[in-house]
Structure 1
Amino acid sequence: MRTVRVRYFGGTRAAAGVTEEVQQAETLGELLDRVGDLHGPALRAALAACSFLVDGTQWRDHGARLPPAATVDVLPPFAGG
């Protein structure tokens, strides 16, 4: 298992109840399943609309292996104008 740092922003921060945490996962998909199970349905629902940055690069492939000691930013859709 790889140890990764997860940082939550916007509504995902409120849904998770934490600003950041350390988790164990091999892939982005496994990480999202793990934090969804840990923090419950509100976070799981929010994750469905989020974008993810892994070490500052946008990731869409949930099956790709995470780099060792990665930082994963969980970014909900932002409204702006």
Structure 2
Amino acid sequence: MLVRYFAAARAAAGVEEETYHLPAGSSLESLLEAALAVERPTPPEGTPELSRIVARSSFLRNEVAVRDRSVPLDAGDVIDVLPPFAGG
């Protein structure tokens, strides 16, 4: 499963994307727990920790919005982590 981070999530994660190898049928919540378990450098000043950002983020699974974190995922899924955006 490929996780792509955008905006503040990218800054907090310290990477643009990373791959996780979880069993097929693992939930989005399980994938997020795996991502949050990774030891990461301290984010840039003014950027919250990744766990705070993920708690407020929206997610896309293969470019389709996902609101239910218990949804089962497939090995080839791409998950986008989209923190809240300001502006208009």
Same fold (TM over 0.5): yes
- Higher Cα radius of gyration: 2
CA distance in 2, matches of 1:62, 1:39: 22
Determine which structure has the larger helix proportion and give its number: 1
CA RMSD of aligned residues (A): 1.5
Structure 2 gap segments, 5+ residues each? 41-47
Determine which structure has the larger strand proportion and give its number: 1
How many residues get paired? 78
AA at the equivalent of 1:61: D
Structure 1 vs Structure 2: percent identity of aligned residues? 42
Runs of 4+ in 1 over 6 A off after TM superposition: none
Q: 2:6 aligns with which of 6, 9, 21?
A: 9
TM-score for both structures, normalised by structure 1: 0.88
TM-score for both structures, normalised by structure 2: 0.82
AA at the equivalent of 2:4: R
